[in-house]
Amino acid sequence: MTDMESYFKKGVKLVGVLKAKNPVRMGGEFQGDVEAQKLFVVESSGRFVGNIQAGDLANEGIIEGDIKASNKVDLKSQSKLTGNVSAFQFAVEEGAGFDGRCQMAGARKDKISEAPTKTITPTNTKSKKKRSSNTFQFKNAKSAFGFGKIISGVLILIGLAALVWNQSGPLLGEPPADQAGIHLDNAVEFIKAGKSAEAVNEFNRAVEIQPSDPRAYFGLAEIYFDNKRYHKARPPLKKAIGLAPKIAKYHVRLADVYLAEKRWDEALIEYETGVKLDPKNHLAFYGMSRVYEEQDKPKRVVASLKKAVKLASKDYELRKAFGAALIRQGQVGKGTEQFMKALKIRQDDPAFFIETGDLLLSLKRRQEAYRYFKKAALILPGDFQGQIRAEDWYFEKSVLDDFIKTRTGKSGENDEAGSEKELSLAELQDAARLKPENARAQFQLGLALVSGARLKEARQAFEKSISLDSSLAEAHFELGKVLTSEGRMKPAIESLKTALSYQPANAGFLLALGKAQVTARNYDDGVAVLLKAEAAAPDDPQIQLAMCNAYRKKVFYTKGIEYCKKAADLKANYFEAMNRLAWLYAKKKINLDEGIDLSQKTLEKFPEKHEYIDTLSELYFAKGEAEKAAESIKVAIKLAPGKKYYQRQLERFQKK
């Protein structure tokens, strides 16, 4: 190096180690380490990644790394520094961004601050008082974040003042009997009064007097968080954690900040730390569920919310969130139960009553559904007609209730849940005629016709319901099932796909579509859909059995055995799965004694089920006992004489 100043202009890109005895100006990009004995300048176009040692440093651009200066570090307006600083003097102009720690040369380490609180004074403004070299602020005026569906429910409803203090004293202990404690008390009073600016000033004074008290930093962070100034909340939270690393709520709130900033991995780490420190912190589990939701991990969402609800069973928002997560996974019944429990906690949301009633109707629990609709009407009578299809529901309830009165002499509204007398098909037809434009009435009529095995009329009722309300997913679903029963697989598959377009995570819809694809011999498509159903409801034995049958059709018997075993394990005495598993054992010629035992158990329960008798005969034949196989299949022939397959089975066994 010569005695003249070195200059690397904009556009230059360097990687390595730079050692300089004289001043250096960096207008380009540099990645590595620098040792400069004199001034090192990063210009506004410069970007530096690495560590710097210098006599003096001036930053006008972007630096990511640690700085150690024997004299002064000067951060100019609009510059950004991410890293730690060690210097004799540290100047920060207004508008500069700094995220890190600073140690003043000669100062004690316990004076290090990450969340200074004074308003920064421009260094070129003579009218302002000169700042001490130890006074500085972390200010990032350029930071901006987009906010979408980030944090809702329990996190918003928490009272800011209650988090910092309560009437009996601070949550972290009684305030110190000193001047800092007085300022903390004052800050809490200002929060209660809704005066956040005054509260910030009081917390700042507490920090100046007692910089080792984490409560002041946490109080500042809470105010910034409440005002959605997340980049401002982060530094004081980190400082509070540095001073009190074992307080779970500090980590949880920092995780909330990261969640708001869409920094999912960092948020998850802090939530997990909060759980380790306090396994009963329900907010940590709730926050984890929000991260998992963003990461599209539905099983973990449900697991986290389940833990949160267990810890805070009276939390209305948690119940709602848990119910919604279950419903998204196709567990509509369990999700609806959570909604009902939430409405026992709070009863001031008419739209939520209607939503829950809608779900109950889809589960064919009409009597309970109608009570929820009426509750919604009582909460907001003037606006009830404008709620979610409430007009149609209320009309239908009134009509059906009149039928109950006429047929039973009782009002359905006074009956206990589950005690409603089932309406006859004729009554449902009358209800549909009274209001032919009511999609739900047509749908209910279709269900009644299905139960009476009147499939053609049921199909027409479902088609009518869809023509009135094409968004009624359940109608598309039931229509698809009817078409499947009629053997009309192409339109059946289309109807089931339409149902899924409205509820893509509904495990029941996925199961029906998967089985329909297999019936249509679209085996690969069927397996693909059933795998989605399994992901949505991994503990559903019907899905496991459907997977078993799909692989059986593909002649992947080993895979079929795996799924049949799962189905039988998930549901005790699941005879259909037991029979299918025994049949697969026969085809693979393995576990034959176990298969015979399974088959005999199914026949003890259903002695005249000829399909099960055929399985037992297959097992005998696989074991080399052809005579037993022949005698067994003769019983099946007597039960189903028109089934030519059994006759061919007998001929096969007798040839042996």
- The contacts of residue 97 (CB under 8 Å, 6+ apart) are 79, 80, 81, 139, 140, 141, 142, 143
Query: Taking residues 478-491, what's their average pLDDT?
Result: 94
Element (H, E) at 78: none
Kindly indicate the confidence band of residue 91, based on its pLDDT and cuts at 50, 70 and 90.
confident
pLDDT at 169 over 70: no
Percentage above 70 pLDDT, the chain: 79
Could you tell me the pTM of the whole model?
Answer: 0.42
CA distances from 52 to 31, 533, 627 (A): 11, 55, 90
Kindly indicate the confidence band of residue 104, based on its pLDDT and cuts at 50, 70 and 90.
confident
pLDDT of residue 426: 58
In tens, the pLDDT along 148-163 reads 332 333 232 234 443 4
CB 229 within 8 A of CB 145: no
Query: Taking residues 319-342, what's their average pLDDT?
Result: 92
CA distances from 591 to 454, 612, 614 (A): 43, 17, 17
In tens, the pLDDT along 113-140 reads 333 333 333 333 333 333 333 323 333 3
pLDDT at 175 over 60: no
pLDDT at 3 over 50: no
Kindly indicate the confidence band of residue 381, based on its pLDDT and cuts at 50, 70 and 90.
low
Query: Taking residues 626-655, what's their average pLDDT?
Result: 92
Kindly indicate the confidence band of residue 394, based on its pLDDT and cuts at 50, 70 and 90.
very low
Distance of CA 152 to the CA centre of its chain: 12
pLDDT of residue 656: 64
In tens, the pLDDT along 491-501 reads 999 999 999 99
pLDDT of residue 424: 53
pLDDT of residue 9: 84
CB 480 within 8 A of CB 503: no
pLDDT of residue 436: 64
Kindly indicate the confidence band of residue 373, based on its pLDDT and cuts at 50, 70 and 90.
confident
Identify the residue whose tokens are 């893509």. Answer: 504
CA distances from 234 to 87, 313, 607 (A): 23, 30, 70
Q: Which domains does the chain have, with CATH numbers?
A: 6-111 (no CATH), 154-360 (1.25.40.10), 573-656 (1.25.40.10)
In tens, the pLDDT along 542-597 reads 999 999 999 999 899 999 999 999 999 999 999 999 999 999 999 999 999 999 99
Query: Taking residues 322-349, what's their average pLDDT?
Result: 91
Phi first, then psi: give them for residue 90, nearest 5 degrees.
-140, 115
Please give the structure tokens belonging to residue 18. Answer: 């730079």
Query: Taking residues 303-330, what's their average pLDDT?
Result: 93
pLDDT of residue 425: 56
pLDDT at 432 over 60: no
Distance, CA of 390 to CA of 395 (rounded, Å) = 8
- Average pLDDT of the chain, as a whole number: 80
- The contacts of residue 9 (CB under 8 Å, 6+ apart) are 27, 28
Q: How many CA atoms lie within 13 A of 482 on its CB side?
A: 26
pLDDT at 367 over 80: no
Judged by average pLDDT, the poorest of 315-324, 405-414, 510-519, 601-610 is: 405-414
pLDDT of residue 105: 65
Higher pLDDT, 424 or 47: 47
pLDDT of residue 63: 95
- Dihedral of CA atoms 98, 104, 108, 109 in degrees, nearest 10, equals 30
Percentage above 90 pLDDT, the chain: 54
Strands 80-82 and 97-99: parallel
Distance, CA of 357 to CA of 373 (rounded, Å) = 6
CA distances from 605 to 365, 367, 466, 487, 546 (A): 31, 35, 41, 30, 22
pLDDT of residue 499: 94
CB 69 within 8 A of CB 41: no
DSSP reduced 3-state for 15: strand
In tens, the pLDDT along 23-75 reads 899 999 999 999 998 899 999 999 999 999 999 999 999 999 999 998 899 99
In tens, the pLDDT along 453-463 reads 888 988 998 99
Query: Taking residues 605-614, what's their average pLDDT?
Result: 94
DSSP reduced 3-state for 87: strand
In tens, the pLDDT along 516-556 reads 999 999 999 999 999 999 999 999 999 999 999 999 998 99
pLDDT of residue 35: 92
